[in-house]
Chains A and B, each alone.
Chain A
C-alpha cells in the first residue's frame, strides 16, 4: 500500500513508509512545488517534521491560500 503526498491539486503516490515528513519534503519539494512554509498534515491532522509515515498515510503540504480576487 502506498502513501499519498499532496500539494494543492497535485497528488503523488509512492511508498514512503518510515520516512519522516522532513525527509519527504526534501525529496519532493521540486516535484510538487512545495512551499517551505507549507504546513504538513497527515490524514487531516497537523503533524511535526519528525512524524514518520506509516503504511497508507496521506501527507498533505497545505498550499497557501490564494491572495487575490478583486
Chain B
C-alpha cells in the first residue's frame, strides 16, 4: 500500500543525480523541464568525477567536452533559471579518500537520489548510506547491452518502506567490481559496449518512478522494474 502521508516534504527539495553518463545525462535532460515548471523549490545536485569526451556522443547527452558535472551544470543554468543547480565534479566514496567526495556530504536526509552508476560497488555504497538517513528516496538504474532494471528504495521516519537493494540481489553483496577511483587508467579505458536505447529506457523508467512517487501513486511493493528493449517489454516486480 502506498503511504498517503509520507513525512513532511522539506520546503527546499533536493534531487541528487550520481553519474552523468548514458543514463544520468538523459535523466538531467528530462527532469529539468519538469522542475522548471514545478511549484516546489528545487536544488539539483549533479555528481560525476569523469569528463565528456567526443566518443561519449554516441550515447550521452551533453553540449560540450569537459568535466561532466560542470558541463551539465552550465547547461542547466543557461536553460532553466528556476532550477538551482550544484556541481560535484568528483567521484564519491564512503570516506572521501583519494580526491573523492564523501558520500555523507553529498546525500542528506530528504534527498531524492537518481543513482545512474556503472558499478555495483558504488551503487551499494550509495544504498548503504541511504539506510542511515531518516527520509530518503533512492531510484537506482542499470543496464546491460539491451536489458536492465531499476530499483526503488524508500525510507520514511527512520523506517524502510521498501526492501533494500541487496535483499534479492547477491551481486550487491558479493561485489565483483571496483569504484572508478579504484581503477587504473587501463581499466577505465576498457569498457564494454552499451546501447543508447538501453540507457534511455533505464532513464525513462527511473523518471516514471519519480513521477509516480511525486503523485503518491507508486505501489511501493513493486519496487523493481525489469526491461528488455529487444522484447519491447518492461515489467514491475513485487518485492516484500
A-to-B contact residues, CB < 8 Å: 6, 8-11, 37, 39, 41, 43-46, 60, 62-70
| Interchain Cβ contacts under 8 Å between A and B, 18 examples | A8-B226, A8-B235, A9-B147, A9-B226, A9-B235, A44-B238, A60-B237, A62-B168, A62-B237, A65-B120, A65-B149, A65-B165, A65-B172, A66-B144, A68-B22, A68-B144, A68-B191, A70-B116
B-to-A contact residues, CB < 8 Å: 19-24, 48, 50, 116-120, 123, 140-144, 147-149, 151, 165, 167-172, 177, 191-192, 194, 199, 202, 221, 226-228, 231, 233-235, 237-240
- Return B125 CB to nearest CB of chain A, in Å: 15
Choose from A43, A64, A70 the contact partner of B23 (Cβ within 8 Å): A70
Given contacts A9-B233, A44-B238, contact A65 B221 (CB under 8 A): no
Main secondary structure on A side of the interface with B: loop
Beta-carbon contact of A67 and B170 below 8 Å: no
Q: In the complex, which residue of chain A has the Cβ closest to the Cβ of B118?
A: A70
Choose from A9, A11, A39, A69 the contact partner of B169 (Cβ within 8 Å): A39
Q: In the complex, which residue of chain A has the Cβ closest to the Cβ of B115?
A: A69
- Return B215 CB to nearest CB of chain A, in Å: 23
Choose from A45, A60, A69 the contact partner of B142 (Cβ within 8 Å): A69
Choose from B116, B118, B167, B237 the contact partner of A67 (Cβ within 8 Å): B118
Chain A residue numbers with a CB within 8 Å of B48 are 70
Query: Given the complex of chains A and B, what is the CA–CA distance between A52 and B235 in angstroms?
Result: 25
Q: In the complex, which residue of chain B has the Cβ closest to the Cβ of A62?
A: B168
- Return A13 CB to nearest CB of chain B, in Å: 15
Beta-carbon contact of B226 and A69 below 8 Å: no
Chain B residue numbers with a CB within 8 Å of A62 are 168-169, 237
Given contacts A44-B238, A66-B147, A69-B118, contact A39 B170 (CB under 8 A): yes
Beta-carbon contact of A66 and B142 below 8 Å: yes
Choose from B24, B144, B234 the contact partner of A70 (Cβ within 8 Å): B24
